[in-house]
Structure 1
Amino acid sequence: MSFARSHVLLVVLASSGCFSPSGIDGSATSSETSAATTAPDPTDASATSTSDAPTTEPTGTVTSIGTTETTTTSTTEPVTSTEPVTTTTTDPSTSTTIDETTGSSCGDGVLDAPVEECDDGNQVEGDGCDALCQVEQPDKQKRFVFLSSGSFTGAQINKIDNADVLCDSLASKSPLPALQMRKFRAWLSDGSTHAIDRIGSYDGEYVLVDGTVLASGSQALKVAALKTMINVTEKGVQIPWLMQACGVSTDGVWTGTQADGTADSANCNNWTADRGTGMMGAFGATDGNWTGCSPRSCDNALRLYCIEVE
């Protein structure tokens, strides 16, 4: 019994050093001491927190409790152009094309320069001024025929070549741009020249200056197959036909030409004299009388037919 007690006493005494704060020899292991006594210095910038929870939030993020808002801003640069923008509107009730950018109206008979090169009051192609009010080029146009606004005696015509000059002069002074740069010859014959040969062969359409179709090709002039009377001047003015008989008409046209386009002997001495007679045409006729109506005294002042040539 005493032996057992002595052993217990020895065990208790031997183990009591393990529970001393400093141990039997006053020392402790470095790991125990560090864990128990070392605390971070709040002034030490190199101290590191050992907390498992994050201590900082990401920068550049605004967070409100219970709400997260995301704002996206998009900037679009305006697109600019140096090209003019032209919008055209066709008004079928008036047959004019309205340019909404400039306010000009093609086909209204008013020249709106510089947008329009011409405006003949319609949008008919082939009459020298196209549907966009631009002057048509020679290879795209029909040929014009007009009745001279002026009247001349036989002597005032002053030969057949001068009659062509008179036609060109009237066309160049026309208020209609379509006529101004074109070449014309008078429908006139003398002792050596036939009117049909002077205008040359042509298969296209002849039109009056208002766009009315007169004839299909030069052959129609030769056989007197006209579709309308030649009563519109280079100024675009319609001359009323008085319906007078050929022998007494006071408003005829000098031609010196028969119904088939060949020369007649009545030519006012080759268009140099006011004496004698010259063959007269009736501009209100569509048959052979348009060119070979009746001889008249050369001192009468009559008109000329002017026909476009190549």
Structure 2
Amino acid sequence: MRRLCIALIWLAAAMTAGAQDSGDLVHTVAAGETLISIANAYGVSLDQLLTLNELDPNAILPIGRQLVVILEADLVAEEERAADEAATEEATAVAIRTTSVAGLPPAPLAAADAPMLDPSDIRARLCFAVFADANQNGLREPGEDYLNGASVLLMDAEDVETLRYRTDGNSEPHCPLHLPGPRYAIEAIAPSGYGLTGAARLSLDLRDGGDVAVEFGAWPGVDRGAAPLLQPIAEGDAPEARSDPAILRELSGLFVLMLAGLVFCSGMAFSVILRFR
């Protein structure tokens, strides 16, 4: 019966899967899918899925990638076994019906309670890294390797640091386990001599499940020119408050001084004119 259920699962999953030229059953990765969810959908083990596709357990699946789920030989053998079991079960059911006692009512059947999924248990897997952004476009492309010596900080909703990770360039992307809450802020510090080519701090909401990959770009000599921080002014350095009457008095004095200068210049000019007449 179990193999029959597995065969039915394969037939349903084939709606989203394709076949390679060799006849193997393959699956095209869609948004939000993980290795575990794909393995469960086809009734295969995670180890089998990793082995067939030469993947690491922490691998991040790009959307559109094709994964080999079941080899052609295993698929044919399982379908044959499922067909044989279905025929055997049908024959057994016929024999039971022909030997049942007439007149007895069928036993009542109670449906099993469906398992309840708590939405609070759904957590996304967060993975992060810092890479050498050669073209400084903020996107990791082929040939742009992960960097050693960068720091990645993870803060909770209260802006309290919950994780500090230092990259080595070989173990990334790093995927921390058992994150306690859904909301975080993630911040990157570039290695010495490098500067980040994009935003240094991002906000994350991990309530919806799936894989969340954050990759910060950095390159030697890059300086995005952060805005200066505003510093408070000490009381002794603050300028004195000046009232409006004081300002008016200063302006009046300046006007009188300008008027006196004008009178003086006019008198000098008049004296020169009288001297030459």
* TM, length-normalised to structure 2: 0.20
- Which has the larger Rg? 1
* Higher share in helix: 2
